[in-house]
Amino acid sequence: MSLDVTFLGTGAGFPCPSRGASALVLRRAGQCWLFDCGEGTQTQLMKSHLRAAKITKIFITHLHGDHIFGLPGLLCTLSLQRSPDASVVPIDIYGPLGLRSFLWRSLELSHSQPLLPYTVHELVPTQDQCPAGEFRDFSGLDRGEALAQAPPGTVLHLDAETDSYLLLEDEELSVRAFRLFHRVPSFGFVLEEKPRPGKLKVHVLQELG
C-alpha cells in the first residue's frame, strides 16, 4: 500500500507568512485524506502539488480554532469546483462532538449553500480528556427540529474493549481514533495496515531445492 504525507501547516495558535495553521494530507490510492484544517488550508493546498478535489475524508483532532477555522471555507471552495450531482459520494468528516453544529451554523449564518454533500461523524468524548472546568457537553446542540436541517451525521461512542473509536475499515487498513488529554477534548488517529500474504518466487525455491 502506497502512502505519502504532505504537511500544509505546522503552526500552532495562529498562522504566519512562512508557516500555516495545522493541516496535513495523507495521500492513498488516488484519494487525499485531510487531517485538521486550520485557517488558510485551502491556500496552502493551491501552493502544493495536491488537488483539493481529491479530498474524500477529513479528520479533525479537536475544536480549537487553529484546527477548524479553515473548514467551512474549504467546503465552499470544493463545492464551487463540483457540479450538483446526486451520484457524488459525500465527503466523510470525523471529529469531536459539536463539529456538526459548527459547520452547519457557519454555513447557515453566512448564507452558504455548498453543493458538495458531506457527512459528519462525531466522536463523543469522555470528561477525563480535559481539565474538569473546560469540559462542555455539546450533546444537545442543534437537536430536535433544527437537526433535520443539518447535514447527515452519525455519533460514535468509545469502545470500552479497545479503548478507541473505529472510524472505518476496508480490506487494506483500519482507522481508529483514540483519546488525548488537552485543554479541550482531543483525539489522535491511527491508520493500521492489515497483514498481507507474502509473494513467493516459486522458481527460485525450486532452484534451491
pLDDT tens sequence across 32-73: 999 999 999 999 999 999 999 899 999 999 999 999 999 999
The single-letter DSSP state of residue 147 is G
Structure-block grid coordinates of residue 74: 474549504
Query: What CATH code is assigned to 3-208?
Result: 3.60.15.10
Catalytic residues: 66
Cell, residue 64: 480549537
pLDDT for 75-107, tens place per residue?
Answer: 999 888 766 665 678 899 999 999 999 999 999
Describe the strand order of the beta sheet including 173-180 as a list of residue ranges: 165-169, 173-180, 186-193
CA angle 80, 90, 73 (to 5 degrees): 40
Beta-bridge mates of residue 33? 26, 57
Instruction: Write the DSSP string, 156-182.
Output: E--BTTTTBEEEEE-SSEEEEEEEE-S
State pTM to two decimals.
0.89
Shortest CA distance to 73 belongs to which of 98, 107, 36, 99? 107
Q: Crossing angle, helix 99-109 and helix 71-80, to 10 degrees?
A: 60
Type of residue at 170: D
Residues 181-205 pLDDT 10s: 999 999 999 999 988 878 888 899 9
What percentage of the chain carries pLDDT values higher than 70? 94
